[in-house]
Each structure stands twice: as structure tokens, then as C-alpha cells.
Amino acid sequence: SAFFRNTYGPTGAFNAMPFEGGRSWAGARPEMRVIAYDSHGVAAHMGMLRRFIKVGEVDLLVGELGLWGVRADLEGLGLSHSMFTLYPELQRLGVPFAFGTVRHALYKHVERLCRGGIATILPGVRVRSTLPEVYLDLPATRIEDPLAVVFPIARSMDEWPSGTLIDRNGPEL
């Protein structure tokens, strides 16, 4: 939780809030985590959760990626390619695609990761998620306009369904 508070805090206090009190997830709990350590502690983290999302009118099994972060002193050292370490596990789990969302401020970083076909940024896609905390005076879902990124695992990108709305069927990871 300290890693996430330190990693997400500089992007806004609101982004670090879910990790107060020792909690190490923001919405849905990850099914799997990849954590890199060095002599200074946690260096990088990525979580994954298998779930069905709805793309347009199509229900689709994905490995949703989230809770991704790199310690500030290690940014720019190519740790984003840690996605490659997840490929064998995602293949073993039988997911056709990995899917994740990031803030638009990370566009250049994600665009570099997408070079060579490892992933595709989906333009103009909105994502509906269930809020992790439910309040009587607020709606139970939210619709956002993040950068949606898809990694083909067992299928090609040609097989990704068309649609401009992705329904997570649950809270973000």
C-alpha cells in the first residue's frame, strides 16, 4: 500500500486515497500480482484479474491489467516491458486478450509500449465501471474516457469486437 501511495500520490491526493490504511487494491482485488523488488523495496507492480467485459454487444473474457506502477527513481528504465513476463501466464490462463486503462497523461509512455504490435490503444472508447464504494446519494457506476489498451494474447487484434463502450461488469482493478 505504501508503494501505491508513493507512486500514485504525485498524480493527485485522490489517486492515493484508496491505498490508505494498508489496502493494496483500488477497486477489484487482483487475482495475480507481479512484483519486482530491489534493494530499496518494491520497484514495480502489476495486477491482473480475469473477468468478462462487454465490448459493444459482445461479452469477452480478458485478463484485466491494472495497479501498474514503477517507483519514481526507476521511471524511464524500460520496466514497462515487464508486460512480457506476464505473457506466458496470460497464455496459461487462456485469456484471448489482456485489457487495461491508463490516464491520458501516460499516452506517450503507452504509445512507446505499443510499438511493434505488442498492444493497441483503442481510440474513442469509453469505459463503464462499478464504483468500489456504494453510496445512496451517488450513482453506482461511472463512465470514463481513459486510454484503453489491448494486448492480443491467444487471438489477433482483428478479433477484438467493435464498440465504443466497454462495460467492466465490476470495479476497475
The predicted-structure confidence for 105-161, as pLDDT tens digits, reads as follows 888 878 887 887 889 999 999 999 998 877 888 889 999 999 999 999 999 999 999
Residue 173 lies in a domain: no
Q: How far apart are CA 102 and CA 127, in angstroms?
A: 11
Mean of the pLDDT values across residues 20-36?
84
Burial of 63: CB neighbours in 10 Å, binned 0-12, 13-18, 19+? buried
What type of residue is 149?
V
pLDDT at 3 over 60: yes
Residue 81 lies in a domain: yes
Residue 18 lies in a domain: yes
pLDDT at 90 over 60: yes
The number of domains in the chain is 1
Q: What's this model's pTM, rounded to 2 decimal places? A: 0.86
Residue 78 pLDDT grade (very low, low, confident, very high; cuts 50, 70, 90): low
Residue 108's pLDDT is 84
How much of the chain, in percent, has pLDDT values that exceed 70? 95
Residue 59 lies in a domain: yes
Phi first, then psi: give them for residue 117, nearest 5 degrees: 85, 5
Residue 33 lies in a domain: yes
Residue 172 lies in a domain: no
Residue 79 pLDDT grade (very low, low, confident, very high; cuts 50, 70, 90): low
157: containing domain? 1-165
Cβ 150 vs Cβ 113: under 8 Å: no
CATH number for position 42: 3.40.630.30
Where are the alpha helices (H) located in the chain, listed in sequence order?
2-8, 13-16, 83-93, 107-114
Residue 62 lies in a domain: yes
